[in-house]
């Protein structure tokens, strides 16, 4: 078992770790909407839609704003 | 093992700043005056915790040391350091961001595991962040059961959130990825003293217990900024 953090990381340098960290945050804060991300959101929206009539109406009001995002997710092309 | 030049990634902070969406700012202005550490309540009880050194390591790019440290997890977000900083550096934001980064590296999951109860038992089910299964003993002894006081004041005994509110909370939680995150935490199981080996027990005096677990690999963290709790305290234990 490693005795300190230097041994724990072994040959990996801070540059390697920082590249990984930066990649993690750029994915986390990315505004792009790939299909996988969209699919993860679907169950939440469905649950909300199934909750009642008023929630369904609310969600449909929001639909026009969501359509470009959904199109982008499905076609993979950015509009505008 | 000696530190090498490669262990300091001097471009890190400059390249990280634009990615971090403004959460991590102005650390390059740090004077290393140590006011943050001087007033820090966490540093008063755990002397190895030192915000000044953490900022120094981040600006000079010793990412390995910061992410693998126990000290990163000792801040409790009182923001005292921010209020006294002459350069207005918002250190709690740094801690917030780098805890996420540390978790990405596989450190600190055992601390986050403690939130599972709050999230699953209370927040997603009842929409309440303050758990009903926890009561402050001081309040219980001195004021009595809050639910009775609430009833006297004409309120329901427990705080309640409308079904619609709970549906909204669940949707927001799903959309933001929090539900998935909580499921991930659910996969974490911690080792305790009854299951550890002699070797682990020996190390336990100076290092936190190792935790190994489910789908998430949780690493040892190290006291990278000094003796845990000061040398005197470590011996007294």
Q: Are residues B32 and B95 in the same domain?
A: yes
Per-residue buried b or exposed e for B3-41, using 16+ beta carbons within 10 Å of the residue's own CB: eeeebbbeebbeebbebbeeebeebeebeeeebbbebbe
pLDDT at B2: 75
Low-confidence ranges of chain B (pLDDT < 50): 205-210, 212-213, 231, 233-237
Angle between helices B51-60 and B12-19 (to 10 degrees): 100
Query: What DSSP string runs through B47-116?
Result: TT--HHHHHHHHHHT-HHHHHTBSGGG------HHHHH-TT---HHHHHHHHHHHHHHHT--HHHHHTTH
**Domain residues for B179?**
109-188
- Which chain B residues are within 8 Å of A43, Cβ to Cβ? 174
Structural contact between residues B58 and A66, judged by C-beta atoms closer than 8 angstroms: no
List the CATH number of the domain containing B47: 1.10.1060.10
B7: its two tokens: 């262990």
Q: Are residues B99 and B17 in the same domain?
A: yes
Q: Which of B105, B122, B149 is the last residue of a domain?
A: B105
Q: Are residues B30 and B69 in the same domain?
A: yes
Q: Are residues B33 and B60 in the same domain?
A: yes
Mean pLDDT of chain B: 79
Q: Are residues B29 and B52 in the same domain?
A: yes
Q: Are residues B21 and B95 in the same domain?
A: yes
Nearest-by-Cβ selection for A18 from B61, B164, B222: B61
pLDDT at B210: 47
CA distance B64 to chain A (A): 6
- Which chain A residues are within 8 Å of B171, Cβ to Cβ? 44-45, 47-48
Q: Are residues B11 and B62 in the same domain?
A: yes
Distance CA B222, CA B234 (A): 15
Q: Which of B86, B105, B124 is the last residue of a domain?
A: B105
pLDDT digits (tens, 9 = 90+) for A18-76: 999 999 999 888 877 777 777 777 888 888 888 888 888 988 888 888 888 788 878 87
DSSP state of B118: I
Angle between helices B51-60 and B91-105 (to 10 degrees): 70
Distance CA B35, CA B85 (A): 7
Instruction: Note whether residue B40 is domain-resident.
Output: yes
Those of residues 134-193 in B touching chain A at CB distance below 8 A are 163-164, 167-168, 170-175, 177, 179-180
Q: A76 φ, ψ to 5°? A: 80, 5
DSSP state of B196: -
Instruction: Note whether residue B232 is domain-resident.
Output: no
Q: How many domains would you assign to chain B?
A: 2
Q: Are residues B142 and B68 in the same domain?
A: no
Instruction: Note whether residue B199 is domain-resident.
Output: no
Those of residues 8-27 in B touching chain A at CB distance below 8 A are 8-9, 12, 15-16, 19-21
B47: its two tokens: 């002397």
Q: A49 φ, ψ to 5°? A: -65, -40
Q: Are residues B124 and B76 in the same domain?
A: no
> Is B64 in contact with A5 (Cβ distance < 8 A)?
yes
Q: Within 10 A of A73 (CB to CB), how many other CB atoms are there?
A: 17
ipTM of the complex: 0.75
pLDDT digits (tens, 9 = 90+) for B58-76: 999 999 999 989 899 999 9
Comparing C-alpha atoms, which of A59, A52, A60 is closest to residue B164?
Answer: A52
pLDDT at B237: 37
Distance CA B92, CA B84 (A): 13
Q: Are residues B98 and B30 in the same domain?
A: yes
Q: Where are the domains of chain A?
A: 1-30, 33-80
Distance CA B75, CA B104 (A): 19
pLDDT at B85: 95
Instruction: Note whether residue B28 is domain-resident.
Output: yes
For chain A, what is the total number of helices (H) and then of strands (E)? 4, 0
Q: Which of B78, B105, B132 is the last residue of a domain?
A: B105
pLDDT at B125: 80
Instruction: Note whether residue B145 is domain-resident.
Output: yes
Distance CA B27, CA B74 (A): 20
Instruction: Note whether residue B183 is domain-resident.
Output: yes
Instruction: Note whether residue B146 is domain-resident.
Output: yes
């Amino acid at each position: 078992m490693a005795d300190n953090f230097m041994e724990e990381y072994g040959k990996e340098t801070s540059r390697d770790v920082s590249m990984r960290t930066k990649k993690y945050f750029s994915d986390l804060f990315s505004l792009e909407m790939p299909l996988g991300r969209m699919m993860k959101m679907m169950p939440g929206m469905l649950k909300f839609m199934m909750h009642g009539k008023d929630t369904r109406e609310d969600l449909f009001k929001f639909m026009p704003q969501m359509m470009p995002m959904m199109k982008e997710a499905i076609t993979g092309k950015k509009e505008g | 093992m000696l530190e090498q030049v490669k262990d300091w990634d001097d471009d890190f902070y400059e390249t990280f700043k634009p990615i971090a969406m403004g959460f991590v700012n102005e650390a390059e202005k740090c004077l290393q005056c140590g006011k943050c550490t001087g007033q820090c309540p966490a540093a008063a009880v755990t002397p190895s915790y030192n915000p000044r050194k953490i900022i120094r390591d981040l600006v000079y790019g010793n990412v390995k040391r910061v992410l693998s440290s126990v000290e990163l997890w000792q801040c409790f977000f009182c923001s005292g350091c921010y209020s006294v900083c002459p350069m207005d550096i918002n250190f709690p934001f740094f801690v917030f961001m780098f805890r996420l980064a540390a978790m990405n590296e596989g450190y600190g999951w055992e601390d986050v595991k403690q939130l599972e109860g709050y999230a699953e038992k209370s927040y997603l089910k009842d929409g309440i962040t303050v758990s009903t299964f926890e009561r402050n003993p001081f309040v219980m002894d001195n004021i009595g059961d809050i639910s009775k006081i609430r009833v006297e004041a004409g309120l329901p005994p427990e705080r309640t959130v409308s079904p619609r509110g709970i549906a909204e909370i669940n949707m927001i939680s799903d959309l933001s990825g929090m539900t998935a995150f909580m499921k991930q935490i659910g996969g974490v199981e911690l080792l305790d003293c009854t299951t550890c080996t002699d070797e682990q027990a020996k190390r336990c005096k100076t290092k936190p217990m190792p935790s190994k677990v489910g789908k998430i690999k949780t690493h040892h963290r190290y006291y990278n900024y000094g003796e845990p709790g000061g040398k005197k305290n470590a011996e007294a234990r």
